[in-house]
Amino acid sequence: MTSNIHNLTRSTDDVVIVGGGLAGLFCALKLSPRPVTLISAAPLGQGASSAWAQGGIAAAVADGDSPEAHAADTIAVGGGIVDEAIALGIAREAGLRVHDLLAYGVPFDRDLEGRLAVGREAAHSARRIVHVRGDGAGAAIIATLNEAVRRTPSIRLIEGFVAEALLTEDGSVTGLQLREAGNLAATPVMIASRTIVLATGGIGHLYAVTTNPTEANGSGLAIAARAGALIADPEFVQFHPTAIMTGRDPAPLATEALRGEGATLINADGERFMAPLHPLAELAPRDIVARGVFAEIAAGRGAFLDARQALGARFADKFPTVHASCIAAGIDPATQAIPIAPAVHYHMGGIAVDTRGRSSIDGLWAGGEVSSTGMHGANRLASNSLLEAVVYAARIAEDIAGQAIPSPARLPQALATPRAGALDASVVKRLRAMMSANVGVIRERDGLADAVRSFAALEHAATSIVVRNIATTALLVAASAWSRRESRGAHCRADHPAEVPALARRTMTTLAEAHDVADGLTEHSTPRIAQSMIA
């Protein structure tokens, strides 16, 4: 049921879940009938990256496949830093979670014999992706779970509010500071709870070109980091190699499943360019394909996805979402190649969590893209993100359900952050441009150093809490990218092009450590761009 937020600003023993995507919705449903308050920045279902997921859910449900093979594929593309036990555990739970979704009513595609139909995507050794009408899995799952949440009386739904600060006392959470989305002049509202789940999504809108919704701006990661949470692997940002370049923000996506069906990547001269770069050509791991596409564009040859032979007239029926995006831009993918470019798609990093989804702060769990479990390593395997989200949402719910209801927290006497200055859209635009230019597909020392100094200066000077939070997350990503002096998975350093075996480990860092990096870089240099960003 939908509730007025002002009824909930006193002490509450509810579990508070922040985020209306797959992880948040699934966790809330799994906790039923325990009282849950679910907070969503956008109207339910409209601000979640999971609703836009075109691939599906990876699960070894077909004959001849196995969780062990799924985990092996995950490990193979993860750049040597996948937590192998985590990957295997998630793969083994995949079938159970798919059947949970079926029980809620998700209409996964079936074959002629009534079994779950499975497709293949890049770097999977078998057909193991369960879809909904080709490219509609995310939207169908979110729509189904939205209905289930609205029917569940134990879930109190608050829409149109963002969490701008995490409240803590003696290393434990005590609540959240919220504000009406898009209204910095609104009076902040505090909600007290000792059991909080962050499921706020990724960081795509810190970059100029992304496939993510505008709500994916790293705010959940920022508020956890500002409260002292341990952050894992923030430098690893996955670029989807085939965003459709039509000038839209966010950029529409041409799902990887198109290449699974035989679509090829060509330049303006009609030449396939992936075959010389990797034995799997178009089905190589995403980081390799993204760099291949980036190189063609940088060389002035352009990059295109060509499904004319592989699909032709079948395109509209097989991939209706992609077809609609193309037609809206004046492109007929049945007869024309689709212009593409790499776009930020998924963040492997996030709030560090254990096998139960617990963060380093007592009473704080994290699930979905805002978290980092160790499953994805340096490069996520296609369609593993929705799987991880449902597996960890269920684990978090089970962990919380097994605990006694904590005594209600007390609200603090003062705001956690009194800042509420006007949002300067030009500052945000420049930050996004710098992230794309300096912390993008290809990175190097000087550009990263400029970014670190600039984001630290912006974070310090920002009068808007929104700008401060996005600067915090940008700083964490840039500082860790500057510190990892090698290329691994999605993290590519032009000045350190090789993997360094001694660095084959996950990054564990804090905001304080990112500030130390920035301080060290600022001692003998002034950021060249920082002043223009905050002027």
**Catalytic residue ranges:** 286
Main-chain phi, psi angles of 237, to 5 degrees: -120, 120
> CA 253, CA 231: separation in Å to the nearest integer?
28
CA 261 vs CA 94, 282, 309, 319, 492: distances in Å:
24, 11, 10, 11, 28
Q: Would you call 36 helix, strand, or coil by DSSP?
A: strand
In 3D, which of 261, 264, 280 has the Cα closest to residue 272?
Answer: 264
Q: Distance (Å, rounded) from C-alpha 342 to C-alpha 303? A: 10
Contact between residue 71 and residue 224 where contact means Cβ atoms under 8 Å apart: no
Cβ-proximal residues to 469 (8 Å cutoff; 6+ apart), any chain: 164, 217, 218, 219, 222, 223, 226
Q: Could you tell me the sign of the dihedral formed by the alpha carbons of 453, 457, 460, 463, in that order?
A: negative
d(CA 354, CA 250): 32
State the alpha helices, DSSP H only, in 300-347: 315-318, 320-328
- The residue among 239, 286, 258, 357 whose CA lies nearest residue 78 is 286
Determine contact, residues 290/346, Cβ cutoff 8 Å: no
Looking at the DSSP bridge assignments, the partners of residue 177 are 165, 190
CA–CA dist 70, 88 (Å, integer): 8
- Helix (H, G, I), strand (E, B), or coil: what is residue 521? helix
Q: Are 34 and 154 in contact (CB under 8 A)?
A: yes
For residues 226 and 366, is the Cβ–Cβ distance under 8 A?
A: no
Percent helix / strand / coil, the chain, rounded to 5: 40, 20, 45
Q: With b meaning 16 or more CB within 10 Å and e meaning fewer, what string describes 346-384?
A: bbbbbbbbeeebbbbbebbbbbbbbbbbbbbbbbbbbbb
Please give the Cα distance from 389 to 265 (Å, whole number).
30
Distance separating alpha carbons of residues 368 and 198, to the nearest angstrom? 9
- Let me know the angle formed at the C-alpha of 522 by 519 and 528, rounded to the nearest 5 degrees: 140
CB 208 within 8 A of CB 433: yes
How many angstroms separate the CA atoms of 125 and 120, rounded?
8
- Give the number of other Cβ atoms within 10 Å of residue 429's Cβ: 12
- Could you give the 3-state DSSP secondary structure of residue 361? coil
The SS3 assignment for 77 reads: helix
DSSP class of 443: B
